Amino acid sequence: MKAIKGKRFRRGIHIADKKQYAADAYIEVAPVPQILSISMSQHIGKPCQILVQVGDEVKQGQLIGKADGFVSANVYSGVSGKVIGIEKRANPRGMVSDYVVIENDGQYDSVCLEPLADREPNTIKERIREAGIVGMGGAGFPTAVKLSPSTPVDTLVINGAECEPYLTCDYRLMIEKTDEVVSGIRLLAKALGVDNIIVGIEANKPKAIELFEKYDDLTIVTLKKAYPMGSEKHLIYCCTGREVPVGKLPADAGCVVQNIATAYAVYEAVELNKPLYERVLTVSGECVKEPKNLLVKFGTSFQYLLDYCKYDNTNLAALIAGGPMMGSTMISSDYYTRKTDSGILALDDTQADFIAPSPCISCGRCASVCPMHLLPMSIDFYTQAGDYQSAAKYGGVLNCIECGCCAYVCPARRSLLQSITLCKSQLRKK
């Protein structure tokens, strides 16, 4: 079906997409290190219950962490080998959880999930839950939970925007695994019980748009290149014209949003009986000599992947897990891949700097770009004063989607995002 033009949301920013580094790099199967450290908390919700002990032998595709409750997700081993440790480690956001350390025996002795008896909605949903699939765009919300909205929905919106600079892993899946991704999208729609499927793709991916136009049951919406187009609320507005009310969820506008990589994982779980233990991610940035899109096992060391892509830290200014706008700046590369990692970036000093913040000059730029129409300078002001309630009342911090547009344009280099996350965590504690 010929693509239609999407709407444009107000505000946001235009940034260089830097996708040229890895956009033409075919998905490559990354080598697997000898030791993997697999997090038991790769999702939003309760960490898994560890099912293995030090000394146990495991297989590729074996369940090693069992979901602990409704909002949780199973974790599987991506290699066969021996469990040599269970350790506490921090993820790039600084959250500490248990990691199962496995010595890879290089045999890839595998087990699969049982083949499904049918493709009924509840069977698909149960398979998605069993396979440990979560939102792979970065949020990590368990997909099976998202497919059980409390209000009726009529539309599945697929996020093919990939609006974060540098990242090209979803784009490569769209053009190299088109049929598989579309199969996953149809399974998601069936699980949800909807016929209306919209795929939103940014205009800077004409090849992906052309390939997706072949499928008559999908409505393809060409989106203007703007950041943060991939935010659920903005994507829904641009694809359907519906507005998600403040403080409400996409389901309140009749929609559920899923990501391209998630759809691909659903295809693999349902059609290939493969649980989620690996994903495609982008390794890129000015300090990476050979930017790549790699299929990596969860638990692979970031440093191992950076070295594989010929990382040179001579002019390094920032190491980032995820995209440069919403990802986490890391103090080292001593972290391990998880379900939500769409990229590892090494930016040089032309792209990132750490100039100390100066006082706010009340220029209003932060508010003028905020796609949620908030007052970031007020959030910062009240948060710095320890008055978190006023930050919520006058700044609207609880509606912030943490897109980073405000911090990006601030001439005083105020640490607006840090204030926002601090304020939210303090309010949550209360």
**Site of interaction with ligand SF4 (CB under 6 A):** 360-366, 370-372, 374, 376-377, 380, 400-406, 410-412, 414, 416-417, 420
What angle, rounded to 10 degrees, do the helices at 260-271 and 121-130 form? 100
CB nearer to ligand SF4: pick between 146 and 365: 365
For 132-236, strand residue ranges (E) read 155-160, 196-202, 218-223
Task: Between 218 and 420, name the residue whose CB sits nearer to ligand SF4.
Answer: 420
Nearest distance, CB of residue 24 and ligand SF4, angstroms: 31
Q: Report, in Å, the least distance between residue 383 CB and ligand SF4.
A: 11
Least distance in angstroms from the C-beta of 408 to ligand SF4: 8
Cα–Cα distances in Å, from 275 out to 49, 130, 136? 17, 8, 14
Sheet bearing 75-76, strands edge to edge: 49-50, 63-66, 75-76
Given 3-state DSSP classes, what are the helix, strand and coil percentages for the chain, each rounded to the nearest 5? 30, 25, 50
Task: Please say which residue, 100 or 370, places its beta carbon nearer to ligand SF4.
Answer: 370
Closest to ligand SF4 by CB, 162 or 380: 380
The nearest distance, CB 177 to ligand SF4, in angstroms, is: 32
Closest CA to 365 of 414, 400, 326: 414
Q: Is the dihedral of CA 194, 256, 112, 261 positive or negative?
A: positive
Smallest distance from ligand SF4 to CB 368, Å: 8
Of 96 and 385, CB closest to ligand SF4: 385
The HSE-up count of residue 262 (CA atoms within 13 Å, CB side) is 31
Nearer to ligand SF4, 186 or 365 (CB): 365
Q: Which is nearer to ligand SF4, 128 or 410 (CB)?
A: 410
286 close to 350: Cβ distance less than 8 angstroms: yes
Cβ atoms within 10 Å, residue 91: 20
Least Cβ distance, residue 402 to ligand SF4 (angstroms):
5
Q: Which is nearer to ligand SF4, 272 or 363 (CB)?
A: 363
Cα distance between residue 48 and residue 67, in whole Å: 5
Q: Return the closest-CA partner of residue 162 out of 44, 66, 260, 236.
A: 260
Q: Which is nearer to ligand SF4, 33 or 250 (CB)?
A: 250
Q: How far is the CB of 362 from ligand SF4 (least distance, A)?
A: 5
For residue 6, give both structure tokens: 């999407």
As measured in angstroms, the least distance from the Cβ of 425 to ligand SF4 is 14
Q: What angle do CA 340, 109, 83 make, to 5 degrees?
A: 65
Longest CA–CA span in the chain (Å) reads 64
- Which residue, 107 or 368, is less far from ligand SF4 as judged by CB? 368
Q: Is 289 exposed, middle or buried (0-12, 13-18, 19+ CB in 10 A)?
A: exposed
Using the 8-state DSSP alphabet, how is residue 20 labeled?
Answer: G
Q: How far is the CB of 375 from ligand SF4 (least distance, A)?
A: 8
Judged by beta carbon, residue 270 or residue 405, the one nearer ligand SF4 is 405
Place of tokens 């959030």: 379
Radius of gyration of the chain (CA): 21
* Non-local CB neighbours of 58 within 8 Å, separated by 6+ positions: 52, 64, 77, 79, 80, 81, 82, 83, 102
Q: CB 407 → ligand SF4: shortest distance, Å?
A: 7
| Min CB(246)–ligand SF4 separation in Å | 12
Q: Is the distance from CB of 330 to CB of 305 less than 8 angstroms?
A: no
